[in-house]
């Protein structure tokens, strides 16, 4: 698990330091070859929130040690 944390921690720290998002490992904490990372952004404009998430996703994809299997988005809007 130390090896997994040594790979995941820079991703989590980089996301929270470089982008205005909240980030956490949200699933598969007990599996050493798998992780699920949740990223949340809040904005008054949907377009800006989408840009922030796009940038965060590109950041994750930039890590050669990671194999991204899927990326899904869920939107909550206040009417």
Structural domain span for residue 49: 2-61
Instruction: Identify the pLDDT of residue 5.
Output: 81
- Is residue 13 included in any domain, yes or no? yes
* Model pLDDT for residues 6-30, shown as the tens digit of each residue: 888 999 999 999 999 999 999 887 8
Q: Is the pLDDT of residue 79 over 70?
A: no
CATH number of the CATH domain containing 36? 3.30.70.1120
Cβ neighbourhood burial of 39 (10 Å; 0-12, 13-18, 19+)? buried
* Model pLDDT for residues 29-45, shown as the tens digit of each residue: 788 888 999 999 999 99
Q: Are strands 22-27 and 36-40 parallel, antiparallel or unpaired?
A: antiparallel
């Amino acid at each position: 698990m130390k090896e997994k944390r040594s790979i995941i921690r820079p991703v989590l720290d980089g996301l929270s330091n470089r982008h205005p998002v909240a980030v956490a490992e949200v699933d598969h904490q007990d599996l050493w070859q798998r992780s699920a990372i949740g990223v949340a952004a809040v904005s008054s404009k949907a377009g800006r929130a989408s840009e922030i998430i796009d940038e965060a996703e590109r950041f994750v994809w930039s890590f050669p040690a990671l194999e991204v299997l899927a990326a899904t988005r869920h939107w909550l809007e206040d009417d």
